[in-house]
Amino acid sequence: MVKQIHSSPVPWWRRVIQSVWLFPAVVVAGLIILTVLRLSGSSVGYYRYVTAQTGADTNLVSGTIRPVRSDEWLVNTQLILAQQKAGWPRTNVDVGNGQDMSIVADVPYREWSVAFKPQNLAFFVMPVEYAFAFKWWLLLAALLISAYFFALELVPKHRLYAIGAALVVSINPFIFWWYQTITIAPIVYVLTMSIVIMRLWRTRHTWVRISLSVLLVYLAAAFALIMYPPFQIPCALAMAVLLIGYGIETYTEADQRQFWLNFIYITGAGLMAGIIALVFIKTRPDAVAAITHTVYPGKRLVTSGGYNLVLLFGNFMSSQLTNPLRAISLPHNQSEASNFILVAPYLVLPSLYFIVTAWRKHHHIDWMLLGVNAMYVVLVARMVLPWPNLPYRLLLLQYVPPERILIGLGVLGFMQLVLIYRHLIAFKPTRSPLVMLLAGGSALAVTLLVGERFHRHYPGYMPEIWLIVLLASVVAVSAAFIVWRRTAVLGVFILAGISIYSANGVMPLYRGLAVLTDSAVIKMLESTPATSRIAVNNSVVFENFPLLAGRQTITGVEEYPQLSLWKPISDSAASQKVYNRFAHITLVIGPKRGFSLLGGDHFAVELAGCDPYIAQHLDYILSAEAINSPCLVPSDSVSYPNQTLTLYHVISAPTP
């Protein structure tokens, strides 16, 4: 008689812990909690410092306000509130003569194309402060989850390694210092499209093909509508080499008829996404023409080379960027100096060793690992070597400044981490101690050398030699551990640890947007007639306040040039070189008449108080400095400890 053995049921808590959905669930729970608490990483609290308001900022939960992140607190955040005030229009008539908000700005608007910008949909169903917090953390949540599932697609069931790799690519100085949609969304879409295409290439079921193709159309169209090529191109190149390698492997292992059928579906999805992007562009021809014919950024063709190798390999010291007194020693601001914390340069040779040994022993070429490493070398060469532009034109890299290529290196470095682990699982290469020595030894040697250069050339940035040695050693250990199957998980978590440590403190935790929405200055502007036209005199910090009050303005952020607004002042070629650009626009009341360039993205409109242009285009002028003009009469003011902002009423010039 055979005795039956009944296995005991697995406890529910163990099933939860072992579930592939646990990590995404934790991420989504964090997203919900932060949304409910109205917490974001915005530095909008800077306005309390600008106006020297006394008392603690009760909305600053933790961290430090970052004035350098002006693209966030001065532009994107304020344009979102301006859109809310205007009723979420696609064309905001309060910006100059009217500006299409769907092209450059990452703001909500009511039109079909916003469906391909899911980060902005919450503003139509939530109060603005909750929607703002949701959008803020949705970007990070989407990056963590897409990276996690990308890793699992290539190394199934290895959840811990997937979590570690996702943390490395998601929580690091580059992502946090550049935290905005144009930075994070390209990575999210590239990783998600890669998952979809890999699954589409494998499937044999028609309904799965159709479903995945529809999803791919959406993802590709959303990627295209980000409209920021300097970040999109490097990310797309990373995806391209990965998928080419995957396609080669699939072609040799699968039914060729199924392969080509799936390829047709993939190509068709790409064409459909291209049609959607083309319709988007063709339905806003004036705005697109204005953007493509600017002096700045213009076509932005760049040449090879020029990036500092020391800065490129000094990423392991990025934790010091959060100290402004140290960061000022560097040749770039904190955002421009930030980077991913990766060990990719030290894993190129171990990768080649793995590829060669797999070919010699198993007659198999790891095309994905080969392609990712090759593209990594190509992009580094593009950044640092002054080679001719011609070969890089095939990759569209003439549109990508060297410092923007960093995002491509980050994506490739993440892919490299996943593919090396995949290779270790599949082929179990021998001579692990030698490979560990190669990876760890090269990492230690290079990081110590770079640390010494940093200490010598930028002594104010990293004065502690012991900290350089410690950080270099941690990087070396992580690189060594990652190339051995038994220690790879520990190695990727060590790397994630230094990455999180380096990103810690970059963003504050800030509650709500009351510092703007409850501003006494904005309430003063709102007290003017609804049809009032208001400009800001000689101030960048308050440049968008008329928009926040729902009033028309000629100052503030002009995402693309409105030539008809400025030609009445001067249409000379010299003047058009000044105002034909994406720019912050400042009104300067004084004796001059014309335009002056204050920076690549900043120009001043210089006019006298009684200039006919002011009488024609403005009703009020907000100024933090006294204006002496018979045509500008003080009508109201708001006083702060360090300054008084006065609202001047524009009147007709007195009769002589």
- pLDDT value for 649: 97
- pLDDT value for 53: 80
Question: 400: helix, coil or strand?
Answer: coil
Between CA 99 and CA 110 the distance in angstroms is 14
In this prediction, residue 112 has a pLDDT band, given cuts at 50, 70 and 90, of very high
94 and 118 Cβ atoms separated by less than 8 Å: no
Q: Model confidence over 51-110: pLDDT tens digits?
A: 878 788 999 999 999 999 999 999 999 999 999 999 999 999 999 999 999 987 789 999
Question: 462: helix, coil or strand?
Answer: coil
User: Which are the contacts of 48, defined by CB distance < 8 A and separation ≥ 6?
Assistant: 57, 515
Q: Is the dihedral of CA 170, 171, 172, 173 positive or negative?
A: positive
Residue 605 has pLDDT above 80, yes or no: yes
Of the chain, the percentage scoring pLDDT greater than 70 comes to 98
- pLDDT value for 389: 80
Question: For every residue of 234-289, which 3-state class applies, written as one string?
Answer: HHHHHHHHHHHHHHHHHHHHCCHHHHHHHHHHHHHHHHHHHHHHHHHHHCCHHHHH
Output the CA–CA distances (angstroms, integers) from residue 204 to 200, 214, 252, 256, 277, in the order listed. 9, 16, 16, 12, 29
562 and 97 Cβ atoms separated by less than 8 Å: yes
User: Which are the contacts of 303, defined by CB distance < 8 A and separation ≥ 6?
Assistant: 386, 389, 398
In this prediction, residue 124 has a pLDDT band, given cuts at 50, 70 and 90, of very high
Buried b (16+ CB within 10 A) or exposed e, 2-21: eeeeeeeeeeeeeeeeeeee
CA dihedral in degrees (571, 572, 577, 578; nearest 10)? -70
- pLDDT value for 292: 83
Could you count the other beta carbons within 10 Å of the beta carbon of residue 321? 26
Average pLDDT rounded to a whole number, residues 31-57: 92
Residue 305 has pLDDT above 50, yes or no: yes
Q: Model confidence over 333-391: pLDDT tens digits?
A: 899 999 999 899 999 999 999 999 999 888 889 999 999 999 999 999 999 998 888 78
Peptide bond into 634 cis (omega under 30): no
- pLDDT value for 1: 47
Report residue 312 CA to chain centroid gap.
19
304 and 386 Cβ atoms separated by less than 8 Å: yes
The structure's pTM equals 0.95
Tokens of 235: 């990310």
237 and 229 Cβ atoms separated by less than 8 Å: no
CA dihedral in degrees (574, 575, 578, 584; nearest 10)? 170
Output the CA–CA distances (angstroms, integers) from residue 372 to 269, 349, 528, in the order listed. 24, 13, 59
How many residues are listed for the chain in this entry? 656
R_g of the chain computed on alpha carbons: 27
The residue ranking higher by pLDDT, 305 or 381, is 381
302 and 400 Cβ atoms separated by less than 8 Å: yes
Residue 4 has pLDDT above 60, yes or no: no
The residue ranking higher by pLDDT, 255 or 66, is 66
In this prediction, residue 3 has a pLDDT band, given cuts at 50, 70 and 90, of low
- pLDDT value for 6: 56
Question: 298: helix, coil or strand?
Answer: coil
In this prediction, residue 591 has a pLDDT band, given cuts at 50, 70 and 90, of very high
Q: Model confidence over 512-562: pLDDT tens digits?
A: 999 999 999 999 999 999 999 999 999 999 999 999 999 999 999 998 999
| Mean pLDDT taken over the chain | 93
Average pLDDT rounded to a whole number, residues 303-317: 89
Question: 594: helix, coil or strand?
Answer: strand
Q: Where are the beta strands (DSSP E) in 434-508?
A: none
Between CA 620 and CA 631 the distance in angstroms is 11
- pLDDT value for 166: 98
Residue 120 has pLDDT above 90, yes or no: yes
Average pLDDT rounded to a whole number, residues 10-35: 89
What type of residue is 451? G
Comparing CA positions, the residue from 518, 397, 410, 415 lying closest to residue 175 is 410
Q: Model confidence over 419-435: pLDDT tens digits?
A: 999 999 988 877 778 99
Q: Model confidence over 170-193: pLDDT tens digits?
A: 999 999 999 999 999 999 999 999
579 and 562 Cβ atoms separated by less than 8 Å: no
Residue 168 has pLDDT above 60, yes or no: yes
Q: DSSP string covering 176-207, please?
A: HHT-SHHHHHHHHHHHHHHHHHHHHHH---HH
Report DSSP state, residue 95: B
Phi/psi of residue 584, each to 5°? -85, 130
610 and 653 Cβ atoms separated by less than 8 Å: yes
Residue 51 burial (C-beta neighbours within 10 Å; 0-12, 13-18, 19+): buried
Comparing CA positions, the residue from 27, 127, 135, 116 lying closest to residue 72 is 135
> End-to-end distance of the chain based on CA atoms, in angstroms?
121
Residue 630 burial (C-beta neighbours within 10 Å; 0-12, 13-18, 19+): exposed
- pLDDT value for 254: 66
Residue 208 burial (C-beta neighbours within 10 Å; 0-12, 13-18, 19+): middle
Q: Model confidence over 435-489: pLDDT tens digits?
A: 999 999 999 999 999 999 988 988 889 888 999 999 999 999 999 999 999 999 9
Residue 199 has pLDDT above 50, yes or no: yes
